[in-house]
Amino acid sequence: MFTKYDWIQDATDQPLDTEGILEVKNWMTQNPFVATTEQTIREIADRMFQHEISALPVVNQEKQPIAIVKAKDLLGNLLNGHSPNQKIPLALSEELACIKETDSLTKLVRLPHKHFPVVDHQSRLIGMLTRQDIIDGLMKTIHFLQRRQDASEILNVVLESAYEGIAVVNQNGIIQEFNEAYSRFTGIDRRDAIGRHVTEVIENTQLHLTVKTGIPERGDLQMIQGQSMIVHRIPIWKENQVIGAIGMLIFEGVSEVYRIFEKIKENGTKERVVRSEEGKTHDDSNIPFSQIIGESEKISNVKRIARRAARTSATVLITGESGTGKELFARSIHRLSPFSAGPFLTVNCSAIPENLFESEMFGYEEGAFSGAKKGGKPGKVELAQNGTLFLDEVGEIPLMMQAKLLRMLQEREVERVGGVKKYKVNVRIIAATNRNLEEMVAHGEFREDLFYRLNIIRLSIPPLRERTGDIAILLSHYIKEISQRYELPVKQLTSEAVSLLVEYEWPGNIRELVNVVERMVTLVDGIEISPKDVYECLPSTKFTQPFVSQESLVELGKKKGLAKEKSDLVEALMKANGNKTKAAELLGIHRTTLYQKMKRLGFT
């Protein structure tokens, strides 16, 4: 049996069992969260918010699904005056559409449902499949089939079976595929659409810009046929070049969401509904893991482990290079944890002088030392009571203080400096470091017993250079965010600039990427960011420059008696205006081979 997404990595040149790959069991969420008829609206809403779920299956005592309850239905129920303590209202649930794990995604896309409970032969719930899972399955299958000899025939079947509208364009923005669903919605026949530029067929489209920038856009709003529609735009990369793009139209208008929002405003209950217990309005920054951007396998695995760790009270050790987002993970774990109602306190262990460390961590009593405040002062551990204490740069804690921290973790109590009374503490500890604690233990710089106390659950955050598939998504996100912050027009990266930034090693990781994006957004004139702009904003030699200057080409062209190999290389570079990738295509060689050839022939 395949596990979710594993079949893509295990692909061979053997004939492909497409129906086997597209079976529900390969894409469903196993053992999903559920609700019961005995639970209240408040309990269900809390579960949905804590676990970032928009809908839950309701099961009976035999674990058989009997309904689907959605968050917006609960919201509407509350707006209509029902008590949060009322039992879950099954009458408002989505129509139930149970499926088997052997069903095919190509059959399900024709159904208008958004959530599909997966049941076994005894009608017991074993998984959940959403329309987004179906989209992911079809899109990943399409991506994989592009490399197969039998891709064309199966691709057409998938496209024409899809409930969503799908359009595929080449590198020039010319439509290559236009499925029946898109044709029905736009009223343009597939035969009339194929071969035309996408802007002539789809109004307000930006798919041709996706080809140019190489940056994916998911969940964007686009006005089509007078309706605000949700669209995905996904670039198709091949050998570091964008060769086309896929546009997917989700037939789900946002008018209903607007109606709910308007009703909240009319009732004057907006603040009461969306304000948290701490008095802060909910936004993306308060939703666990929403700020951790990335869809690569490595970062997805870390987020999956972090979600599981969050539901326990176990100590977590987060390791990774500087700038990888360790504190974001810590905050997200806190928000999903049993300690989320309590405070989240950060202690930068490298910023506290050694002689003040104990009083800062554990507090002090009045008169404990010269200059002590009247009445004493609670320490960080006490202030984090019933919450989370985040020990950043934990590898910098002095050895003497490591012993006291270990005692606190073992005994779960602290004693203030100069005090005689011990305080019981109920605090979740999350530690982070960019140092190798195992090596520090081996060299006697870090206590082994403390290391084992901290290293209960380990999260190793991958550096950006190991998750290059996320770079384009990160660039898109931060360009929009920073442009809005400075009230500037949203700039666009050319595909060559994106390719260049993907090749860069990013020693400063995401922190450096944000810094570079901010520099480009604020300093680059015009709306387009070119490779030249990237070089000016990234004065580093940690990547190979993809362009040869025009001045260098002119000088090389003037030289007489060049060897044929060198002459051919100069000619190709001149035809490509210095673009090494295009020059490699003209010569029929890989770009890496071109770089090696240029180095051997003395090009700079």
**pLDDT 10s digits, 229-238:** 778 888 888 7
Angle between helices 71-79 and 255-267 (to 10 degrees): 30
Distance CA(321)–CA(507), nearest Å, equals 9
Map residue 10 onto helix, strand or coil: coil
Q: For the domain with range 6-129, which CATH number is right: 3.30.9.10, 3.10.580.10, 3.30.360.10, 3.40.50.2000?
A: 3.10.580.10
Higher pLDDT, 444 or 423: 444
The predicted pLDDT at position 411 comes to: 87
Query: Residue 216: which H helix or E strand, with range?
Result: none
What pTM value is reported for the model? Answer: 0.54
Q: For 96-105, 255-264, 447-456, which range has the lowest pLDDT when averaged over its residues?
A: 255-264
The predicted pLDDT at position 149 comes to: 46
The predicted pLDDT at position 276 comes to: 33
Backbone angles phi, psi at 63, to 5 degrees: 65, 30
Distance CA(353)–CA(356), nearest Å, equals 5
Question: In the CATH scheme, what is the code of domain 297-460?
Answer: 3.40.50.300
- SS3 for 250-293 is ECCCCHHHHHHHHHHHHHCCHHHHHECCCCCECCHHHCCCCCCC
For residue 388, pLDDT over 90 is answered with yes
Architecture of domain 164-250: 2-Layer Sandwich (3.30)
Map residue 176 onto helix, strand or coil: strand
Domain boundaries, the chain: 6-129, 164-250, 297-460, 465-537, 550-600
CA angle (114 as vertex; 112, 117 as ends), nearest 5: 110
User: What confidence tier does 391 reach under pLDDT thresholds 50, 70, 90?
Assistant: very high
Q: For 159-168, 527-536, 559-568, which range has the lowest pLDDT when averaged over its residues?
A: 559-568
Return the residue matching tokens 């597209």. Answer: 22
For residue 481, pLDDT over 70 is answered with yes
| Dihedral (CA of 306, 310, 311, 314) sign | positive
Are 6-129 and 465-537 equal in CATH topology?
Answer: no
Q: For 17-26, 359-368, 500-509, which range has the lowest pLDDT when averaged over its residues?
A: 17-26
The pLDDT of 553-579, averaged and rounded, is 66
The pLDDT of 285-313, averaged and rounded, is 81
User: What confidence tier does 372 reach under pLDDT thresholds 50, 70, 90?
Assistant: low
pLDDT in tens, 177-217: 888 888 888 888 888 888 889 998 998 898 988 888 888 88
The predicted pLDDT at position 152 comes to: 52
Map residue 403 onto helix, strand or coil: helix
The pLDDT of 373-385, averaged and rounded, is 83
Higher pLDDT, 29 or 428: 428
User: What confidence tier does 254 reach under pLDDT thresholds 50, 70, 90?
Assistant: very low
Distance CA(289)–CA(51), nearest Å, equals 10
User: What confidence tier does 146 reach under pLDDT thresholds 50, 70, 90?
Assistant: low
Length of the chain, in residues = 604
Q: For 171-180, 236-245, 346-355, 469-478, which range has the lowest pLDDT when averaged over its residues?
A: 236-245
Higher pLDDT, 5 or 486: 486
CA 103 to chain centre: 29
Query: Which amino acid is it at 596?
Result: Q
- Percentage of the chain lying above the pLDDT 70 cut: 77
- Average confidence score pLDDT of the chain: 78
322 Cβ neighbours under 8 A, 6+ residues apart: 434, 508, 509, 511
The pLDDT of 430-442, averaged and rounded, is 94
Give the tokens for residue 586.
Answer: 């003209």
197 Cβ neighbours under 8 A, 6+ residues apart: 172, 173, 174, 175, 208
User: What confidence tier does 18 reach under pLDDT thresholds 50, 70, 90?
Assistant: low
CATH topology assigned to domain 550-600: Arc Repressor Mutant, subunit A (1.10.10)
Q: Partners of 229 in the beta sheet?
A: 222
Query: Which amino acid is it at 177?
Result: E
The predicted pLDDT at position 430 comes to: 96
Backbone angles phi, psi at 371, to 5 degrees: 95, 0
pLDDT in tens, 45-79: 888 877 777 788 888 888 998 888 887 777 777 77
Give the tokens for residue 9.
Answer: 């990595």
Map residue 140 onto helix, strand or coil: helix
- Percentage of the chain lying above the pLDDT 90 cut: 19
For residue 158, pLDDT over 60 is answered with no
The predicted pLDDT at position 288 comes to: 63
Map residue 465 onto helix, strand or coil: helix
The predicted pLDDT at position 253 comes to: 43
The predicted pLDDT at position 395 comes to: 92
Kind of pairing between the strands at 175-178 and 165-170: antiparallel
Q: What is the DSSP string of 56-69?
A: EEEE-TTS-EEEEE
Query: Residue 85: which H helix or E strand, with range?
Result: none
Return the residue matching tokens 């580093």. Answer: 540
Give the tokens for residue 541.
Answer: 């030699």
Map residue 81 onto helix, strand or coil: coil
For residue 579, pLDDT over 80 is answered with no
Q: In what order do the strands lie in the sheet containing 35-36? A: 35-36, 55-59, 65-70
Give the tokens for residue 426.
Answer: 């109920």
Distance CA(396)–CA(104), nearest Å, equals 54
CATH topology assigned to domain 465-537: Helicase, Ruva Protein; domain 3 (1.10.8)
